[in-house]
Amino acid sequence: MSNIVNKPESLDSQALIRYMMYTDVNRRRATQVGIDTWVDRKTIFGDKYDYGTRHEITFSEIDDSPGQYIVAMIPYIRQIPHPEKEGETIPLRLIYLTSVALWPFFDPISGEALNMAMLPE
């Protein structure tokens, strides 16, 4: 069974989103929630999931009702092997979320303070 949902129906679905959840204020620890989702490149490279934005998302492993989450890390995009086309790569955007209740306890991120050591292992 694949961990990817919404197989692309058109050429617009050419990238993946992976949701990661912080359960405490340590940005080095995050767990994947939900499954990878096909989206268009505009969603991957646009501002929809920018740092500090709020989203209502349902993650069945957390709750059957939608929850409110805040993007708690700046955009992180990398290339991964295409899950269905050998020899091709696609962009994957990791979306690091936290609960609205936990968000006020995170240290703000500024350009000067950001480095790769902040990303989960």
pLDDT tens digits, 102-114: 999 998 887 655 5
Neighbours of 21 (CB within 10 A): 21
Positive or negative: CA dihedral 113, 68, 120, 50: negative
Apex CA 28: angle with CA 112 and CA 20, to 5°? 105
**Which comes out higher in pLDDT, residue 35 or 12?**
35
Which residues on neighbouring strands pair with residue 81, listed in sequence order?
Answer: 89
Q: Where are the domains of the chain?
A: 4-113
pLDDT tens digits, 44-80: 999 999 999 999 999 888 888 888 999 999 888 999 9
- Cα gap 31→27, rounded to integer Å: 11
Tokens representing residue 62 in the block: 């957390």
